[in-house]
Amino acid sequence: MLDMNDPLIALANVIDWKIFENEFAIFYSKDGSPAKPIRLMVGLLILKHLRNISDESVVEQWSENNYYQYFCGEHVFQPC
């Protein structure tokens, strides 16, 4: 249960995520290990810069923060 008035939710809902998916899809290979979703990768980078935190910290906080997960495209809380 999230507060739909939260600034991260508002921001997530106005970003056109398809632009990122269309632009970055060419860098993803159909061969090899499955890739992480583009929205997750872009979302984590945005959160890292918004919060001025390290790569390690944004990943750690993502696993504990429902709002970060929503921002990155999750619809169900992922505890890890």
pLDDT tens, residue by residue, 7-51? 999 999 999 999 999 999 988 888 877 789 999 999 999 999 999
Answer yes or no: are the C-beta atoms of 65 and 9 closer than 8 Å: no
Would you say how long the chain is, in residues?
80
pTM of the predicted protein model? 0.88
- C-alpha 16/C-alpha 2 separation (Å) is 21
Give the other-Cβ count within 10 Å of 44's Cβ.
19
Residue 30's φ and ψ, nearest 5 degrees, are -80, -15
- C-alpha 79/C-alpha 66 separation (Å) is 9
* Tokens representing residue 30 in the block: 């159909």
